[in-house]
Amino acid sequence: MPPIIAPPRLEVRHLVRRFDGSTVVDDVSLTIEPGQVTCLLGPSGCGKSTTLRIIAGVDMQDAGTIHVDGRLVCDTVFRVPPERRQIGLMFQDFALFPHLSVAENVAFGLPRGSDHAGRVGALLERVSLSGFGPKYPHELSGGEQQRVALARALAPNPRILLMDEPFSGLDERLRDGIRDDTLALLKEEGTAVLLVTHEPHEAMRMADEIALMRRGRIVQRGAPYNIYNAPVDREAAAFFSDINILRAEVRGALTQTPFGEFLAPGLSDGTEVEIVIRPQHVKIDFDRAGRGPNPTPADGTAARATVARARFMGRESLVEFRLEEGGQILKATVPGVFLPKPGTVMWLMIRRDRCFVFPRRG
C-alpha cells in the first residue's frame, strides 16, 4: 500500500475579502505544515492582517475555504467558531489583562475546572519566567510581557499560531534574542506558525517559507534564500534591500549598458528593461585604477565612475558613484571603513549572476 500522506496543518484556498467594492484579499492560497514557520510579508495595507483575521475566525471571507488538518473550518456558509479552531493568536501589543497576574493570564485560555498550575508553571519555565506567576503585567518589561503573551498563546496547545507583528513593540536590542527563543519553542511544540510582518529582515530570520504579498495578492512564495536571490520582479527585489537600476533597450536578445552587454532572453527587440543590482554586488576594480579610457564591451565589463559621496554606516560604508557614461548614480556598499573623497575616479564592476533583468513597467 502507498504511504498515507497527512494533509497540511493549515490550508487556505483562494481566499477573497472585499470592503466597499475594493478587494483587500485577492485569491490568497497557503499551506503550512506542523512545525513550519511561514511569514506573510508585505507593506502596510496589503491585506496581511485581514488574511490573519479571517483564518482566526474574527472576520468572514467573501470566497475561499480554510482547512485545519484536512478538516473544513470555514467557507462562505459553514463556520467553526474561533474558539473551536485550535488556532492561537498573538498580537504586537501583547493584549495582556492588566488586572490578572502572570499566571492567571497564561491560564486564561485553558478549560475551566482543570488543574492549571502544572501547565502554567511548565510554560513559564520554558519562556524563562519561573517565579513570575504572582507578578502583574505592569511590573514586567516589554520583553517579559512578550514572553507571557507567548506562554498564554501556547497554553491550550494550539495546532496553529497566528502572530501579527509580535516583535515590533520591542526594543531593537532585545528583539533578536526573543525572536530566536520564540522560534525555538514553537519548533519544539510542533506548532504551525503564520507570522505577519512588514520587516523583511524579520521574515528572513524566522521563516521556513516567505509569502510575499502586494495589493491583496501573494506574488511570490518560497524559501528565504530563493525569494531573495530570484525575485519575481523589481518590486520584490526592492522590498528586501536597496537597489540600483540601469535602464536599457533590447536588441537581438541583448542590452547595452556602461558595464557591457547583458542577456535578455525571450524579450523582443525594442523592449525597455530594467537591470537591477543590489549595492553589495557593485564591486570596485582597484586593479584598473589609473589606466586609460573606459574599455569597450569587448574589452571588459568595468565602467569608469566618480565618487559623489561616501558615508560610514557602522558595519559597512555606503559610497555613491556617478557613472561617466550617462551620469547615473550607483550605490555600492563596502565592508568596514571606506571613505574616498568626492571626485575620486574609480572603476566599477557588477556580477552578471547577481543582476536581474525585468521588463520595464509604466
Convert the pLDDT of each residue in 159-179 to its tens digit.
999 999 888 777 777 788 888
Alpha carbon distance 155, 165 (integer Å):
20
Q: 119-122 — which CB contacts under 8 Å span 24+ positions? A: 119/155, 120/151, 120/155
| Same domain, residue pair 36 and 177 | yes
Convert 115-133 to b/e letters by CB count within 10 Å (16 or more is b): ebeebbeebbebbebeebb
- The pLDDT tens digits for 89-117 are 887 777 889 999 999 999 987 877 667 78
Residue 63: pLDDT band with limits 50, 70, 90: very high
Nine-digit cell at 9? 496543518
Q: From 170, 202, 236, give the residue that closes a domain.
A: 236
Look at the chain and count its residues. 362
| Same domain, residue pair 187 and 329 | no
Q: What residues contact 148, with CB distance under 8 A and at least 6 apart?
A: 94, 96, 102, 105, 106, 127, 129, 132, 137, 140
| Same domain, residue pair 198 and 255 | no
| Same domain, residue pair 260 and 330 | yes
Q: From 185, 209, 236, give the residue that closes a domain.
A: 236
Average the pLDDT over each of 227-231, 264-268, 308-312 and give the range with the smallest value.
Answer: 264-268
Residue 194 lies in a domain: yes
Instruction: Report H helices in 61-138.
Output: 102-107, 117-126
Tell me, what CATH number does 249's domain have?
Answer: 2.40.50.140
CB 123 within 8 A of CB 155: yes
| Same domain, residue pair 167 and 312 | no
- The pLDDT tens digits for 289-308 are 545 455 444 444 789 999 99
| Same domain, residue pair 300 and 351 | yes
Residue 341: pLDDT band with limits 50, 70, 90: very high
Alpha carbon distance 217, 336 (integer Å):
39
Nine-digit cell at 121? 508553571
| Same domain, residue pair 347 and 275 | yes
CB 43 within 8 A of CB 212: no
Residue 49 lies in a domain: yes
Nine-digit cell at 253? 536578445
41 vs 90, which has greater pLDDT? 41
Residue 142 lies in a domain: no
Query: Which residues form the domain of 188?
Result: 10-86+158-236
> Position of cell 582597484?
286
| Same domain, residue pair 230 and 254 | no
Residue 129 lies in a domain: no
159 vs 181, which has greater pLDDT? 159
Number of domains in the chain: 2
Which pLDDT belongs to residue 191? 92
The mean pLDDT of the chain is: 89
Q: From 214, 236, 258, give the residue that closes a domain.
A: 236
Residue 182 lies in a domain: yes
Strand partners, 350: 282
Residue 337 lies in a domain: yes
Q: Is the pLDDT of residue 9 over 50?
A: yes
| Same domain, residue pair 72 and 208 | yes
| Same domain, residue pair 307 and 345 | yes
Write out the H or E segment, with its range, that includes residue 5.
Answer: none
Which pLDDT belongs to residue 3? 66
| Same domain, residue pair 225 and 354 | no
Tell me, what CATH number does 58's domain have?
Answer: 3.40.50.300
Residue 107 lies in a domain: no
Residue 76 lies in a domain: yes
pTM above 0.85, yes or no: yes
